[in-house]
Structure 1
Amino acid sequence: MSSSLHSPWQRHVPQIQRKHQHWLTDTGSLTQKLKNHCEQFVVQRVRQNRAFLNLSETKSLCLPLGRRILQRQVLLICDDSPVVFAHTVTALERAGRDWPFFNQLGNRALGLTLFANPLVCRSDFEYTRICAQDALYQIAQTALHTHHFKVNLPRHIWARRCLFQHVRHQNSRMMVTELMLPEIYQLEKTSKAR
């Protein structure tokens, strides 16, 4: 992936409408939260392949720039509307040993698998506002069009990321970045979740 052109990643909560903040700051499972806000939840895998590490991910993953990684990109869809574009990366040599489920996910959610594993801990969230010139923004927009969603993203979208670490393997890290697509802010809890 090419260079990133977003605001710096930061730990403090971004300046976003208070009624929308929970989508960025909730520490529970985003997958479960989305399921509570729609009748039909779908994970659409966009791609899963080997790639090279992005500059903005090197420090957090403790890997050098240009290192080969395994990446997975998905759209999270609520009632036929894409609401999140998720990008996950981990070191190629760690995927099979420390994250054996990763290659078998298909169109299933990664989040529920990670939350169910007591040997996995998650770091605090970092936040940024990604602009239209950013590589990840462009990948998300292309994914939407490729999967026939007529969604044109605004010039900036909020994103969050965190690191998952396997407690038995100190150097085993998986980074999950979630881009909040515009429709996520229109979701309301369904009657089944109230």
Structure 2
Amino acid sequence: MTFRFDVSGRRWQAVPSPALSRHHKDWLTRGGALTRHLSALGRVSVRVVAERVMPADADQCRAIGVPLRTPMWARDVILLVDDEPVVVAHSVTPLAYSRSVWQAMRRLRTRPLADLLYHDRTVTRSALVSSPLGPRHLLHGRARHDARDPIVGGCPRVRLWARRSVFLRHGAPLLVTEAFLPRFWRRLQSVQSVHGEHVRD
């Protein structure tokens, strides 16, 4: 099967909005494993929220080039720093590839996806793109109901800044979307005030 990718889609941008702070721009465009970067802020752990089969929506179809409602294997997790939820993430690949090229994704349990992506030279990554997510997005719901972020819960219309990219292994795509919770930006600000500068490893 041949895939035609459009990871940017309609709302996702390769260059973050000029109106964002430099810290927002920094974290939305950092390469490498997000969990490794988060470890500079504290102890990182992964909470698995759901692993299931779901149909691809229109945005995912454009991003990885599959027909609408193609069966996908999806994994939703919350990333925590010192037991505080800071990021909600959603990863999807066509169901057939979750049983072949990306089958290790089904056995991760509470290990981060980075364990698969950054220790395999056959894996390549697209450019990172970013977008604010509104209340209709799946990850916005995860932030409200699973991560229980008080700002998102108290103001359901607040937008979450997120980033995404496509990983390829032997031609098989894996779309990874990561949304930063308001808690993350508060924690980052707190760490910066202690160290006098933004944290970067």
Task: Normalising by structure 2, report the TM-score.
Answer: 0.82
**Corresponding residue for 1:129?**
132
Measure the CA separation in 2 of the matches of 1:20 and 1:179: 12
Deviations along 1:3-37, one digit per CA (max 9) or x if unpaired, are: xxxx7112112231113322111112111011121
Task: Give the letter aligned to residue 79 of structure 2.
Answer: L
Structure 2 match to 1:93: 96
Q: Which residue identity lines up with residue 17 of structure 1 in the other structure?
A: S
Among 153, 161, 164, the residue aligned to 2:164:
161
- Deviation, 1:152, is 3.4
Q: Deviations over 1:106-151 (max 9, x none)?
A: 0110023201111100000111111123333123322224xxxx53
Identity %: 28
Verify: 1:31 aligned to 2:35, yes or no. Answer: yes
Cα distance in 1, alignment partners of residues 32 and 26 from structure 2: 10
**1:32, 1:112 within 8 Å by CA — same for their partners in 2?**
no
- TM-score, normalised by the number of residues in structure 1: 0.85
User: Is the CA contact (8 Å cut-off) linking 1:31 and 1:112 kept in structure 2?
Assistant: no
1:20 aligns with 2:18: no
In 1, Cα distance between the equivalents of 2:68 and 2:147? 28
CA distance in 2, matches of 1:122, 1:11: 14
Q: How many residues matched?
A: 179
Which region of structure 1 is more displaced relative to structure 2, 15-24 or 176-185?
A: 15-24
Gaps in structure 2 of 5+ consecutive residues: 1-9
Instruction: Give the Cα–Cα distance (whole angstroms) in 2 for the partners of residues 101 and 122 of structure 1.
Output: 18
The higher-RCO structure (CA 8 Å, 6+ apart) is: 1
- For structure 1, the 5+ residue unaligned runs are 1-6
CA RMSD of the aligned region, Å? 2.1
- Determine if contact 2:58/2:68 at 8 Å carries over to the other structure: yes
